[in-house]
Structure 1
Amino acid sequence: MRLKVLWVGKTQEEWVRRGIDEYAGRIGRYMAIDFAEAREEKGAAAEAMREREGERLLKLLPKNARLVLLDERGEQLTSPELARFLESNRDGGTQELVFAVGGAYGFSEAFRSRAFKTIALSRMTFTHQMVRIFLLEQIYRGFTIINGEPYHH
C-alpha cells in the first residue's frame, strides 16, 4: 500500500514544513508516502471556492485510491482505532490510501462523494497548516502501534 496526503494551499510556515519533513521521514520507515498540494482559491463565495478546490483535488486523486477526508464532522477515532484502520487497509489489499485536508471552507460535494471514510482529528478547530502535522503524527503513531513499538506507550 502507498499513502498519499492531499491538501489545499501552500505550506507557508517553515516550522510546519520541518514538522511535515520530520514525520514523513518517520512514516517512510514503514511505508512510502507522497504529498500533493492543490492551489487555494481566493476571492470567491465559499461554495465557489469549495467547487474549484474540489476540482483541483480530484485531479490529484489517483484513480483507484481509497479516499479519507479530514473534516470536523467526521468520525472521531482513537489512535489505536486509526492504527487498526491503517492495518486493515494495508493487509486488505488497498493499493493507495489517500488522506485529504480541505481548504478554509471544506470540501465540495463532488469531492466529498468520492470519500470512503471521513474522520475528524478533534472537535476543536485547528489551522489547516497545523492539521498537516497532526495527521502525519497520528499516522506515524498508528504504525508504531501496529508494530508494538513504545512510542504510543
Structure 2
Amino acid sequence: MKISILCVGKIKEKYWNDAIAEYTKRLTRYCKPEIIEVADEKTPDNAPEAIEQMIKDKEGEKLLKHVDPKAKVIALAIKGKKVDSPGFAKWIDSYAISGCSHIQFVIGGSLGLSDAVLKRADGQISFSDMTFPHQMMRVVLLEQIYRSYKILSGEPYHK
C-alpha cells in the first residue's frame, strides 16, 4: 500500500525532520510512505476572515493538484471522526482489504483546510479537539500509521 501525506508548509526544525525521517524509515517495511509538501501562503497578523478564507482556498488548490483520483483521501480535521489506535489500524486494514492501494492523508496549514479539500476527502479524522502545529501532526500521524501496522502484524509496540 502507498501512504501519502499531503501537507502545507516546509519543516524547518531539525528535530521534526529527524522524527519524520525515523518514522518514514520504519514504515518502509510495511508500506510505501511519501510526503508531499506544498508552499504555505503568508498570513498577515490580524487578517480579516475573508483574507484567511482566500489563503485557505489557495493552499487547498495546491493540495488538490496532488490528489490521486484513485486514492482514498482522508483529511485531518478537528471536526473529523475520532478513533483510538486499534480502530485506526482496523480502518487502514479495511481499506487494504477492499482493494485500496493508495491512501492520502491531508494536513492543512495554520488556518486549516479549505472547504474544497474537505469536500473532496473521502473521510475526515481528528486526533483531538485541540489544535496542534502542522509540523507536530505530521509526526503524530506517521507514528499512528506505524503503530497501526505493528498492531495489524501482531508485533509488540502498541500498549
The interval holding the TM-score normalised by the smaller chain is over 0.9
Alignment of 1:1-40 (within 5 A): 1-40=1-40
- Name the TM-score, length of structure 2 as normaliser: 0.93
* Deviations 1:83-124, CA, capped at 9 Å, x for gaps: 001111112111210001001111111111111110011122
Q: Give unmatched runs, 5+ long, in structure 2.
A: 45-50
Alignment of 1:1-153 (within 5 A): 1-43=1-43, 45-153=51-159
Report the aligned-residue RMSD: 1.0
Q: Give unmatched runs, 5+ long, in structure 1.
A: none
Which amino acid in 1 is paired with 2:24? A
Which amino acid in 1 is paired with 2:94? S
Large movers: runs of 4+ above 6 Å: none
User: Percent of aligned positions with the same letter in both sequences?
Assistant: 39
Equivalent-residue separation in structure 2 for 1:43 and 1:17 (angstroms): 23
State the secondary structure of the residue aligned to 2:157: helix
- Name the TM-score, length of structure 1 as normaliser: 0.96
Equivalent-residue separation in structure 2 for 1:113 and 1:122 (angstroms): 21
Equivalent-residue separation in structure 2 for 1:43 and 1:131 (angstroms): 20
Give the count of matched residue pairs: 153
Equivalent-residue separation in structure 2 for 1:23 and 1:150 (angstroms): 16
State the secondary structure of the residue aligned to 1:152: coil
